[in-house]
Structure 1
Amino acid sequence: LALVTGALPLATLRAQWGRAPLAAAPARVPAGLPAQLARFALVGVVSTVAYLVLFVATRGMLGAQPANLLALLVTAVGNTAANRRLTFGITGRRAAGRHHLQGLLAFALGLALTSGALAALHAVGTPSRPVELAVLVVANLAATALRFLLLRLAMHHRRA
């Protein structure tokens, strides 16, 4: 619970384990960050499942790269809206356009990561569908970490 609330006493724990304090690290996790990460992870899981369903549904008709583009584009809009509301607590239309443009930047980075992963995978040979999906999940995890950082910078600090 202390991890989620941000009350985890890192300095005390380090001292109890005989470790020197970290000079550059704060003594506490920034307020709200663990809860934001938990909500962001929940939105991310739902978005990833929706992405995978759309990818699998369109992969046969469109091919890997177009199906990836379509699935990412459709889920990126919903993901940004959900994170705006649930992760960062922003309601209303104020700055919604700017937030969605920033979400599109995160989408572009995610598209570059997933498309690059697919291209590298297909350059090696013809992968099975489970291998293709596993590579996309790993690429999406990397894209998700970048997305959180970008959206937190864009939405959290402007709101404070």
Structure 2
Amino acid sequence: MTCASLLRRGQAADTVGDLPDAPAPGERPVSDRLTACLRGDSIPAQFLRFVLVGGASTVVYALLFVAGHGWGYLTAHLVATAASTVLANELHRRLTFHADERVHWFTAQWEAGGVTVLGLLATSTALGLLDALTGDNHPVLQIATVVGVTAFIGLLRFIALRWIFRPAPARA
């Protein structure tokens, strides 16, 4: 992650090459600078929050997928995708893009959900191919396949949410 505030070092760090144990007078600790950077609206901060939310929703997906595995991989996949997508869309609206005041819940679900349909088609196709090629219904391999495809779709989703579905700026 690149954040300008993380590139600054105290005077002692320049001398020995390591971060000092305590911040220089008037300088905030590294943890405070990192927190401030993560809460900002810069693209790297938004992308890191996007990845963290994506990781959390992927854990929810995996738990639901394993719990519903007895229904068959496709049904478990659809249920887990629907639930984790609604959660991820809301977390992205509130945390990743700080848009809870600007974008209504339904709008966020509709726009991000539309992008998710592409991901659902891609992951379902990948699961179908995996099943056809291996004939193995091992959940770990299936989840790994979904995570790989989802990572690529997630990048496309970030681009869509960040630049395509961005609300127009408020007029003065």
Q: Is the TM-score greater than 0.5?
A: yes
**Which of 69, 83, 88 is the equivalent residue of 1:59?**
69
Which secondary structure does the structure 1 equivalent of 2:101 belong to?
A: coil
Asked if 1:70 corresponds to 2:69, the answer is: no
Mapped to 1, the partners of 2:99 and 2:5 lie a distance apart of 21
Count of residues in Structure 1 that have an aligned counterpart in Structure 2: 136
Q: Which has the higher contact order (CA 8 A, sep 6+)?
A: 1
When Rg is computed on C-alpha atoms for both structures, the one with the higher figure is 2
Partner in structure 2 of residue 158 of structure 1: 168
Counterpart mapping for 1:25-104 below 5 A? 32-60=42-70, 62-92=71-101, 94-104=103-113
One-letter identity of the residue aligned with 2:3: V
One-letter identity of the residue aligned with 1:135: T
Shift of 1:149: 1.3
Shift of 1:122: 0.9
Mapped to 2, the partners of 1:59 and 1:104 lie a distance apart of 23
Shift of 1:7: 9.4
Structure-2 change in CA distance of 1:123 and 1:98 (3 Å) = same
Structure-2 change in CA distance of 1:114 and 1:159 (3 Å) = farther
* Partners of 2:69 and 2:76 within 8 A in 1: yes
Which secondary structure does the structure 1 equivalent of 2:135 belong to?
A: coil
Structure-2 change in CA distance of 1:36 and 1:132 (3 Å) = same
RMSD (CA atoms): 2.3
Asked if 1:147 corresponds to 2:146, the answer is: no
User: Displaced runs of 4+ in structure 1, greater than 4 A?
Assistant: 5-8
Q: Identify unmatched segments of 5+ residues in structure 1.
A: 9-30
Structure-2 change in CA distance of 1:83 and 1:6 (3 Å) = farther
* Partners of 2:49 and 2:96 within 8 A in 1: yes
Shift of 1:117: 0.6
Q: Identify unmatched segments of 5+ residues in structure 2.
A: 8-40
Partner in structure 2 of residue 106 of structure 1: 115
One-letter identity of the residue aligned with 2:115: A
TM-score by length of 2: 0.70
